[in-house]
Structure 1
Amino acid sequence: MSFSQAQLDPQTREFYCQALGILSRAQMPFLIGGAYAFERYTGIARHTKDLDIFTRPEYVQPVLDVFAQAGYDTEITVPHWLAKAHCGDNFVDVIFNSAHGCLPVNDVWFEHAVQDKVLDIPVQLCAPEEMIWSKAYIMARDRFDGADVAHLILAYGDRMDWSRLVAHFGEHWRVLFAHLVLFGFIYPGERSRIPDWVMDQLSQKLAQENYQSEITEKLCQGTLLAPLQYQTDIEQWSYQDARLKPNGSLTKIDLREWSDHLNQESDTD
């Protein structure tokens, strides 16, 4: 048993065990992410108030139905990416996309999942590559997961499927490149954990862009990183929100529901 699991309140531990047991018996496809997967890869333990499970979008309602049949309260918290199952003060986050809508959980997440145990229950963990992919975009004022990205590279860089990781980012390669440059600053003696070809390829992309025609579209992609910190750009400075179709995958209704959720959370903090 890991340190963080040993420190769990007995009631919370029992809730998590029951939740994992319910999903396993129902043969629901899910992955464990969040603090438990992060500790497995990095050895860094920290207290967590919830259990993060990841599933494909088409399995969200079946997962919630299974929890409801077991007596849990369930809700679709934010329709494009987050649901929850409650039992008293304890809850499970059911995650099926990223908050900005660009990283839906798909078959690739399951194909590369890592077999392990959480609370002595056999489970599948989100792979380090997918964890980095999702955490790399979290750069808000109240939460920045850059240290998590750096620690995952430090712990797993020599075993990382770098080709898959680079491919994940696609046109957003600058986000990955920014984290890799910072990693070299954070750990000067560990830069070899990132293959030379990765840095060379991304550096060449950057150099090539300098010779391309200037982009005239007034687009703000900062909203993919921090949903609240770039509101002024969208609302007052007439920038297009990169989360919205056709640049992104979200609608204005999706954004309004996500903003309402963020505001509710800030009101309860």
Structure 2
Amino acid sequence: MQASTSMPASHISQQGTAAFYRHVLNALNASGIPFLVGGAYAFHHYTGILRDTKDLDLFISRRDFQAISDALQNMGYKTELTYPHWLGKLYFNGDFIDLIFSSGNGVAEVDDDWFRHAPQIDMLGVPIRISPPEEMIWSKSFIMERERFDGADIAHMLRTCAERLDWPRLLQRFDAHWRVLLSHLILFGFIYPDERDLVPAWVMDELLDRLRADTHTPPSEQRMCLGTLLSREQFLPDIEQWGYRDARLAPDGPMSEHETHIWTEAIRHKH
């Protein structure tokens, strides 16, 4: 039986993490505000790979964050806008849920297409929708920190989802960052040499044609480092010491100086 959406948070304090998740999912369904489940739960649905996770990732539109926050606070939960450019959190009795509306680099913003292409499944007895595989691959492809590299996740997603991917839409998602996608597709052929044909030949031809044309074009004179789109920490010397422009910053990128400052300051708290 599904938990009542009107039940205050205090009533589930002894029922554990699953009850917390179920209560929130039911409440959001009742609110009518669109959301998607991502992270480890969506990854398991697509790949069959099960792994421990410390939280639940919900993907939402940035415009809906305040309405979701208000609704959950009225039910007794604590919420915060942790990083204004991509992430809020919901806390309860030592558990938490991430409310995600973009990516750490600001590139993979949750827009209407996330919801338009989202499959529906049941989770904990609750009907929900999950992040589309194209958007999961897109957002995960940029995670290349020293302590976390999502390349294996991309390879596993490609192995299980390649035949049903909307490849033109995936290419459109990466847009000017197509080299990041190409790098993962090349690694996929290395990881699974007997299954490299899962990636359509026309996709590889298209990206290699772009690479060939780019190779014979004079390089940009902007002196910009796009490495900050892959790691918020490892390319700071390029920005702070070597004089490169930060590709995250407007007008070239999606973030403000204030947002990058908050995101950089958080590095010291993770160690």
* TM-score (normalised: structure 1): 0.94
Query: What's the counterpart of residue 224 of structure 2?
Result: 219
Q: Which residue of the other structure, out of 43, 57, 78, is the alignment partner of 1:73? A: 78
- Hey, what does 1:101 align to over in structure 2? 106
Structure 1: how far apart are the matches of 2:75 and 2:187?
A: 46
Are 1:54 and 2:66 matched, yes or no?
no
| In 1, Cα distance between equivalents of 2:53 and 2:183 | 27
Partner of 1:140: 145
Superposed counterparts of 1:7-46, under 5 Å: 11-46=16-51
SS of 1:144 mapped into structure 2: coil
% identity of equivalent residues: 46
Using the size of structure 2 for normalisation, the TM-score is: 0.93
Q: Where does residue 114 of structure 1 map in the other structure?
A: 119
Q: Secondary structure at the match of 1:46?
A: coil
**Who is 2:163 aligned against?**
158
Q: Residue 140 of structure 1 aligns to a residue in which SS?
A: coil
1:255 to 2:260 alignment = yes
- SS for the counterpart of 1:66 is helix
Name which of 256, 259, 269 aligns with 1:264.
269
Map of 1:188 onto structure 2: 193
- Residues 133-175 of structure 1 show CA distances to partners (whole Å, capped at 9, x for unaligned) of 0000001101100000000000010111101001100000000
- CA positional deviation for 1:25: 1.4
How many pairs does the alignment contain? 258
Look up the match of 2:6: none
SS for the counterpart of 1:156 is helix
My pick for the range that moved more, 37-46 or 115-124, is 115-124
Aligned residue number for residue 245 of structure 1: 250
* Distance (Å, rounded) in 2 between the aligned partners of 1:182 and 1:199: 12
- C-alpha distance in structure 1 between counterparts of 2:157 and 2:241, whole Å: 38
How far is 1:263 from its partner? 2.3
* Residues 9-18 or 149-158, more deviating: 9-18
Q: Which runs of 5+ in 2 are unaligned?
A: 1-13
C-alpha distance in 2, partners of 1:244/1:33? 27
Q: Secondary structure at the match of 2:266?
A: helix
Match of 1:149 in 2: 154
Matched residues in 2 for 1:43 and 1:193: separation? 18
Which structure 1 segments of 5+ residues have no match? 1-8
Aligned AA (2:103): S
Paired with 1:209 and 1:26, the residues of 2 have a C-alpha distance of: 48
Query: Match of 1:123?
Result: 128
Q: State the Cα distance separating 1:17 from its structure 2 match.
A: 0.9
Give the SS at the match of 1:122.
Answer: strand
Question: Do the aligned partners of 1:78 and 1:261 also contact (CA within 8 Å) in 2?
Answer: no
Partner of 1:199: 204
Task: Report the CA distance between 1:186 and its aligned residue.
Answer: 0.3
How many angstroms apart in 2 are the aligned matches of 1:168 and 1:162?
10
